[in-house]
Structure 1
Amino acid sequence: MNTLHYAHWPQGLPHHLLAPEASVYTNLQVSALRYPDKPAIVFYDSVITYRQLHEEVLALAGYLQQVCGVQKGDRVLLNMQNSPQFVIGFYAILRADAMAVPVNPMLMTDELAHYIADSGARTALVSQEIFARLQPLIGHDTLQNAVVATYSDHLNVATDLTIPDFIKAERQVPDQAGISSWQAAIQAGHQPNIHQAGPDDLACMPYTSGTTGKPKGCIHNHRSVMFNIVGSPTWSGAIVATHVALAVLPFFHVTGMQSVMNAMIYCGGTLVILPRWDRDAAGQLITRYAVSNWTLVPSMMIDFLSNPRLAEYDISKLTRVSGGGAAMPAAIAQKLLELSGQVYMEGYGLSETMAPSHLNPPQRMKQQCLGMPYFNVDSRVVDPTTLQEVKQGETGEIWINGPQVFQGYWNDPQKTADSFAELDGKQFFRSGDLGYIDPEGFFFFTDRLKRMINASGFKVWPAEVESMMYQHPAIQECCIISAHDAYRGETVKAVIVKKPGSDITAEEIMTWAHDKMAAYKVPKFVDFVDSLPKSGTGKVMWRTLQEKESAKK
């Protein structure tokens, strides 16, 4: 085990952390007992206290059990944008002893059908503005019930903040079997059964994808989820109820869920929620509520610091600005430091590790660096061919052993087996990312073993996009590669061979794709070619196309 990084360990913190032996729901229960009248959530100036939050969680958990028939271990789809309802829904699912299946609210009907069929979810919590995409699936396959949330139900005070129309929209829930409004579910007043879930029971299943194209569920129990909930704020040296977090990183993403939503509930802090990125609203909220913690992706900070109104906002109360998913450009990190005195804290994690496995220590934060293995984590750099550990400074695959590592892929024992390997008597998760360790024990990313596109922190798996693109009647062959994007870092490009006689245009392809897949997966560039390069066995040589595209930078 590499211990070089211990020389730069945060002062006063142990190398090993002891996390609570309890379900994640109990974090909310404890905070509600400790701080009943403290703001848990601020939503466009409307406040929800910990007491109110806990009461709604209990009511919804009761509804899930008594009306929707949710039982221990059941999977419940959670499909909405950042909102009070997302927080309530997540904890209600856990209180009902079920497993939350958070999905990207940008997903379209065909994509959602896979998540429902694969997870076996019989119940969904979904927001009103995207419900039309889920509605055709109710009553088919496994999905039988949907509770539909209207965001405006939690707008109860006047505000001068700009509220998007989809947030202000009045309640419009169809009268259909199996569908109920969120408000009706809460007001029904059902009490949940005695809470039974413990550390080793199912808790959350974020989905990831891979080379085969179909997204796979990452199985996490309460133990693996709890560890990073506790570890993230502990690493910064403060678990205090005075934390105020700007919650704009999506909650369905493990970083937003764990390092923001769940960490604040554990601390008894306040979540200042924005459903979508809005740089002026962010500046107003940071100023108005003295935001101390802000976790983000680099594109948000790039946009925030380029705002001509930046001088109007007070960001002096920030004490932690952190993120991951993509490296922060050095010039942007320097500007943040000059304006706020904050060094951007970078980290590294995956859906399989339920957020961080590596973090930069607060007293020595290296830029464009994954950080060091944090509490309880043993991480190695291994030759992906020989499966032997490489020397310090050499590049290899990043392997991870730690309590936050998932329990495997849902319904896929073979992929689970392929994702783990033994070294020195320990089971390590093979990340698929390549990197090296510097002389001080810090990890740096160099490349991907897996074929993947990182668009502003959203992971796009080319094989998944290709499988959907082949549904278009004019496409004979398609290869998805990464293209450079000044704002997003990377974006999606499609290299297409048309079927004979087709006169389809790039614009028509992209318009069609918008109806079939989430917006971040839609190709932003389309090249038409006569043929795709292929190997002697007939496989498309995607790397040849990728290298040609990368040479254009």
Structure 2
Amino acid sequence: MVAATQSVHQETVLPAPADRPHHKFWPKRLPRTLTLPETSLWFNLEVTSTRYPAKDAIIFFGRRFSFSQVRREAEALAGWLQREAGVQRGDRVLLYMQNCPQYMIAFYGILRADAVVVPVNPMNRAEEFKHYISDPEAKVAICSADLAAHAAAANAELPEPQRLRHLLVTRYAEAMQPNGEDPADAPPPAMAEWLRADPPLPAGAVRWLDAIACGHPPGPHTAQPDDLAVLPYTSGTTGLPKGCLHTHRTVMHNTIGGGLWGHACADSVTLGVVPMFHITGMQYCLHSPIWGGATMVLMPRWDRELAGRLISRYKVTHWTCIPTMIIDLLGSPNMDKFDLSSLAYLSGGGAAMPQAVAERLHQQYGLLFAEGYGLTETAAPSHANPPERPKLQCLGIPIFGVDSRIVDPVTLHELPPGEIGEILIHGPQVFKGYWRNPEATKAAFVEIDGKSFFRSGDLGRMDEEGYFFITDRLKRMINASGFKVWPAEVEALLYKHPDVQEACIISTRDAYRGESVKAIVVLKEAARGRVTEEQIIEWARQHMAAYKYPRVVEFADALPKSGSGKVMWRQLQDRENERVSPT
């Protein structure tokens, strides 16, 4: 339920203009706009479990979960949330774990309880996790056993009124075969050890199986399409991560559209390895398969040998991923043993697909990689390449009902094809604003031709056929293997180090990740000569998510500053670009 204090951005979504260039190349099999159901996301599971009760919803290391089982356990969890944890309509519940059956069940259990899912990146550590408790005022968190200590440590450091009241903990092994897996399904040894670990629970934590076993029936489901459903957080150029207000309706648009765009149906088999805390994984590995009745073969972490085995064994048809996964898979010495012939649709984003890799996919396997573009604020895609006519290293065309334009970032005048400007987006999947942040919400939107457009902060161009290409960023952001790293957030965390006086985060080139994080650090006087770059990196590794912490640290006597005292990060970035540029 969306409260008035959240300063929600409201608008009437109008049809996209009929004369946009990309409509000449619109797939004839698809409508240009979607008619959305006037129901909640939960109802999708209710319908699918009724249609296909015994069909596999999930396969997790050989163990199968039917749609009816997923529904029963989600309802049991909803009952526990309402009866035991006191969750009421509109309350925010944190979800903090890697891909697993419990993630799917918990997500829909929270929705069944008329509450709001707050997905949290499981790579976040205790220091980062505190914000996800306090900002959405969450009183309940559901997490995996390996992360329970982080959740408890973060909770203990908050003032008592801001703390969680309930912590529900699951082990990944609770969803695995109790007597071990068939070798064809088995995780690699290091992954298996992590999955089957059983660390001691924090005091007062409740075990997942005990909550499900309570068997409390939930109350009536009352959520409406325009009620808040999910609050994913995104960082930005300044400050801490901001919650994006997504309703059942905004998420529903790409839930349905994603399946239609990619030829998905109830006989599709999806490889679910993109993390479901991320908006892309949430849509393509969770919501869309539930809507259509597809089967999800879940992977909690990326491993190329496991991925190759699972695609081969379960005849995976659909795989949404990031290009680095494909590059890694193609580099496996066992590629000749993997059978990729079942793959019918390969899509992704987050980073450009190298042309040589795309050509190998097409020549060797007959696969066309369909890149897409979207943000947390747009519930994943706003643009996608038509599978029938994709272009390489291209964002694609605006999808169902989306009006997207390239404008001058200052004047907001629309620019002709070929000219570079800011990408603006208007569409049914655009979020309703930032959680309790009216200033940021106002700054994120502009009005053109009577319609409200979201300012992406990305610079791009549109070709004569209406396909979009990204060229640069207005926002200061680092893209590491598809994960967005916002320098301001990393800098704020580095300032917590007792020996750091000043820090500036820039990007450096990385052969595998594309970009990586580099920190220019000024040490406090007493620490100079005593603290090493490696010690700063190790401290950051312990306090930040794995994709976020600096891989490189460079000490400096001082940071360049403008007349107003602002750090001139661009000067440092330009110097780094010159240093690593090929000669």
Q: TM-score, normalised by structure 2?
A: 0.93
The match for 1:270 is 295
Q: CA deviation at 1:168?
A: 4.0
CA distance in 1, matches of 2:364, 2:120: 35
Shift of 1:319: 0.5
Could you tell me whether the CA contact under 8 Å between 1:213 and 1:465 is conserved in 2?
no
Provide the residue aligned with 1:547 in structure 2.
Answer: 574
Q: Distance in 1 between matches of 2:371 and 2:403?
A: 19
Matching residue of 1:87: 104
Using the alignment, how far apart are the partners of 1:167 and 1:515 within structure 2?
Answer: 18
| Corresponding position: 1:314 with 2:331 | no
Deviation at residue 339 of structure 1 after TM alignment = 2.5
In 1, Cα distance between equivalents of 2:269 and 2:210: 31
Residue aligning to 1:345: 370
Over 3 Å counting, the alpha-carbon distance change for 1:497 and 1:176 in structure 2 is closer
Q: 470-479 or 418-427: which moved more?
A: 470-479
The equivalent of 1:112 in structure 2 is 129
Match of 2:176 in 1: 155
- Does 2:378 align with 1:361? no
SS in 2 for 1:521: coil
Which residue of structure 2 aligns with residue 121 of structure 1? 138
Deviation at 1:38, TM superposition (A): 0.7
Whether 1:528 and 2:567 are equivalent positions in the alignment is: no
Q: Which has the larger displacement, 132-141 or 271-280?
A: 132-141
Tell me, yes or no, if structure 1 residue 64 matches structure 2 residue 81: yes
Contact 1:173 1:180 in 2 (8 A): no
1:384 is aligned to 2:409: yes
Distance 2:370 2:577 in 1: 28
**Alignment match, 1:204:** 230
> Residues 145 and 201 of structure 2 are in contact (CA less than 8 Å); yes or no, is this contact kept in structure 1?
no
2:322 maps to 1:280:
no
The one of 66, 72, 94 aligned to 1:77: 94
Secondary structure at 1:520 match in 2:
coil
Say whether 1:261 aligns with 2:286.
yes
Deviations 1:193-236 (A, max 9, x none): 01000100110011001111310000100000000000011112
Structure 2: how far apart are the matches of 1:526 and 1:168? 33
1:136 and 2:162 matched: no
Which whole-Å CA distance do the structure 2 matches of 1:133 and 1:367 have between them?
41
Q: Distance in 2 between matches of 1:287 and 1:269?
A: 17
Question: Equivalents in 1 of 2:364, 2:199: separation in Å?
Answer: 44
Which residue pairs with 1:100 in the alignment?
117
Question: Is 2:32 the partner of 1:15?
Answer: yes
Where does residue 13 of structure 2 map in the other structure?
none
When normalised by structure 1's length, the TM-score is: 0.98
Shift of 1:137: 3.8
Pick from 227, 238, 245 the counterpart of residue 219 of structure 1: 245
Percent identity between matched residues is 52
Amino acid at match of 1:393: G
1:371 partnered with 2:392: no
Indicate the SS of the match to 1:232.
helix
Structure 1 letter corresponding to 2:148:
F
**CA distance in structure 1 between the partners assigned to 2:84 and 2:131 by the alignment:** 25
Letter in 2 for 1:348: Y
Shift of 1:158: 2.8
CA contact (8 A) 2:272 2:285 kept: yes
Whether the 8 Å CA contact 2:517–2:548 is kept in 1: the answer is: yes
Given candidates 510, 513, 520, the residue that maps to 1:485 is 510
Partner-residue secondary structure (3-state), 1:183: helix
Q: Would the aligned equivalents of 2:59 and 2:295 in 1 still touch at CA under 8 Å?
A: yes
Contact 2:133/2:155 (<8 A) preserved: no
Which residue is equivalent to 2:489?
464
3-state SS of paired residue (1:286)? helix
Distance in structure 1 (CA, Å) of the matches to 2:195 and 2:428 = 41
**2:434 aligned with 1:409:** yes
Q: Which residue of 2 aligns with 1:37?
A: 54
Amino acid at match of 1:147: L
Paired residues for 1:295-334 under 5 Å: 295-334=320-359
Per-residue Cα deviation, 1:148-193 (whole angstroms, up to 9, x for no partner): 011111112632122523554255553733x200000001101110
CA offset at residue 259 of structure 1? 1.8
Q: 1:30 is matched by which residue type in structure 2? A: V
- Correspondence for 2:466: 441
Q: State how far apart, in whole Å, the 2-side matches of 1:335 and 1:213 are.
A: 42
**Does residue 6 of the first structure (1) align with residue 6 of the second (2)?**
no
1:193 paired with 2:216, answer: no
What is the DSSP-based 3-state SS (H/G/I as helix, E as strand, rest coil) of the residue aligned with 1:308? Answer: coil
CA deviation profile, 1:392-412 (whole Å, cap 9, x unmatched): 211111010001000100111
The answer for the alignment partner of 2:565 in structure 1 is 538
Separation in 2 of the partners of 1:168 and 1:175?
18
- Label 1:167 to 1:50 Cα distance change in 2 as closer, same or farther (>3 A): farther
**Per-residue deviation at 1:27?**
0.9
| Matched-pair contact (CA < 8 Å) for 2:148–2:202 | no
TM-superposed deviation, 1:239: 4.0
- Tell me the SS of whatever aligns to 2:566: coil
SS at match of 2:547: helix
Change (3 A) 1:408 1:41: same
RMSD, aligned CA: 1.3
Distance 2:542 2:195 in 1: 25
Shift of residue 22 of structure 1? 0.9
| Contact 1:138 1:144 (C-alpha < 8 Å) held by counterparts | no
- In the alignment of these two chains, the number of paired residues is 551
Aligned pair in 2 of structure 1 residues 167, 507: CA closer, same or farther (>3 Å)?
closer
Three-state SS of the structure 2 residue aligned to 1:545 is helix
CA distance in 2, matches of 1:98, 1:173: 29
Contiguous gaps of at least 5 residues in structure 2? 1-16
Task: Describe the SS at the equivalent of 1:119.
Answer: coil
- SS of corresponding position for 1:536: coil
Amino acid at match of 1:536: G
CA distance in 2 between partners of 1:421 and 1:508 (Å): 45
Quick check: 1:41–1:273 contact (8 Å CA) kept in 2? yes
How many angstroms apart in 1 are the aligned matches of 2:197 and 2:511? Answer: 38
Measure the CA separation in 1 of the matches of 2:199 and 2:69.
Answer: 24
Q: Secondary structure at the match of 1:346?
A: strand
Secondary structure class of the residue paired with 2:34: coil
2:412 is the counterpart of 1:395: no
Equivalent position to 1:46, from 49, 52, 63: 63
One-letter identity of the residue aligned with 1:215: P
Report the counterpart of residue 26 of structure 1 in structure 2: 43
Q: Distance in 2 between matches of 1:414 and 1:356?
A: 25
Residue by residue over 1:121-160, the C-alpha shift from the partner in whole angstroms, topping out at 9 and shown as x without a partner, is 1000100011110012447423110110111111126321
